[in-house]
Structure 1
Amino acid sequence: DGHFVSGTSTLNPTIDSAGTYSITITNNSNGCSSSDNVVVSIDTIKPIVNAGLDTLINCYNPSISLNATVNPTNVNVLWQTNNGNIVSGNTSLTPMINAAGIYIIQAVNTVNGCVSYDSLTVVVDTLSPVVNAGNDTILTCVNDSIFLTATTNLSSNYNVVWATNNGNIYTNDSLLQIGVNSGGDYLVTVTNLSNGCSSTDTVIVSEHLTALANIYATPTSGVIPLDVDFANQGDNYIVTWDFGDGSQNSTDSMVTHTYTEDGQYMVILNVRNEYGCTASDSILIDVFGTSSILIPNIFSPNSDGVNDVLKIKGENIKELSITIFNRWGEHIIELTSPNQYWDGRTYAGIEVPEGTYFYIVKAKGVDGQEYDVKGSFTLVR
């Protein structure tokens, strides 16, 4: 029931089917024979191999482990791919892969050498969403808090997270629109929940919450009529000058103002910049009239409360000294301040007698006028 291919008269015939094969050996010298039988069976059963279900790689699982099964277990396996990538374990049932492609498993029965194949397809889903954080914007004094609105190409099944290291989010940071009230860099991340892939975008919020007013004025003091040059060295979007003398305000950035009356004037500069922020600055301007001095020609230090002291009456005098002598030229006393006066006594506090006394007055006015006056006055008691 078997089948010889060749070599029936040899000790090593070739067969190609199962069956019972008999061999007879004859001794040619005496004609005696002996026979024996051998039973040949067939083992061509291939192993059963299953590569597993088709699967995918995404951002949740950028590398995955395949999971094949074989029967029987006494097999050698080998994974191969032409367009994927096997990271490790290509001779195991569970290789690690990280690329899309077709993966083929070969299973070889270690007993009979029979081979089986199976394959699976791995696809990739790593498409990131499109996200736009919006245009860079500005916080101003008019709008000191604003809303940022991001957009995405996803209509559902996504997650949003806003973050900042140097700003401040005062609303829910897990919505496309957030409220912020501080300048900074704002990062929005949108995640596609179906594949775990994310995209980010950044919007920069700048702050313009202050204005600057800075007065430059020259001169800041002088004699009437006094021309003062004013300039704003701060923001120049909207400028208002108040010169403190009741005159009409000016809106020029640079202006010259003339003071025609003496006095001290508080000049106020108010500015508003293009972001709606305001600031002010101020400076004092001292305006003096022309100087003059008046020297009395008589006084009566008799403690009656009337004309008891000798005092130089000066207008806008900043320096003054008076030296008093008696009629013999003796130095009686010296006054060195516009606020000083003489009560008719010596340095030692002794009352001087009635009579004519002589003086030398040296003075200087705020207008630069210098005085050098000599004369006399009468002291009566």
Structure 2
Amino acid sequence: MATAGICLSTRRVRYVVAPPVVPTFAPVPTQCIVGAAVTLAATPAGGTFSGPGVSNSRFDPAAAGTGTHTLTYSITDSLGCGTLSQQVVVNRLPVITPGRDTTLCADLRQPFQLRGYAPAGGVWSGTGVTAGGFFTPPNTGNRGGVFPLIYTVTQGPCQATATRTVVLAPVSSQDVGLNLPECAAAPRYAGLAPFDCPLSPVLLAPHATYRWDFGDGSEPSTAAEPTHRYTQPGTYRVTLTARYGNCEVLTGFSPVEVGDVFMPNIITPNGDATNQAFQPRFSCRPASLEVYTRWGQRVYQTNNYHNNWDAAGLPDGIYYYQLRDADDRRAKGWVEVRR
């Protein structure tokens, strides 16, 4: 169409209006602040998730923090577009008070109800305790014990625990064994001077105090598990005064027998069953032995000596030895072989 002095033209433009898309967004249940990240799901696929704590289609409760959060799913393509949101609640952990630790003396063995814990509604677990918190002291053979009791509270998706400790003090006693390793080279002794003696109480418990008397006139120790060096051979009586709360426990240990180092300078391997082999009291630890003639020729060597060298096949005379134990204690000297 044309008119005088005016030029007009027409063009048809076609607009396509995409229909709205109604996505679905799988509900996310209430989460706990310490819970693992959850995978978000929605349809149709190909959209984008957004909101606090959202990354790569996953929702992390710890990153979002406690509270109520809005998560959104958005999708736009050639066929349509749409968004859908939902709210997710992240709960904090319940705050638990398990009550004060308890110490029972040797003469206090009656069952009792635990008190002072909060919030109510939790469950107890551990040795000697019922779910409701009724504690019956176990039989420890008078040696006492340390019993951690766990209080568990569940609130929605959150579960928290706290520990309360019950200490049963041992009874006072005498001649308690020290549980020292045997001195294979001299079984009658705990060790050979200088001897480092490791000590441990009958019961090692939190918040207990200790006072050790080593029986050799040295200063007492307040360490829980001291190692004391006996520099001289002798018989020593170790005593311990331990305090567990208001309970005082006195323990007397079996005597500590400390032997002297003895290096024989003669053996008589003549078949009379006396002094047949070289048997030094050198160390309680495994030791090596080397034996040489006076001219430096090695005639015997072992990395684990058992006090059994008897100069078999060798003439009488003077031989020189070197001993070295697993702690690098060393000794050398000479021994005469006389049949």
TM-score class normalised by the smaller sequence: 0.3 to 0.5
**TM, length-normalised to structure 1:** 0.35
Question: Which is greater in Rg?
Answer: 1
**TM, length-normalised to structure 2:** 0.39
Higher relative contact order (CA 8 A, sep 6+): 2
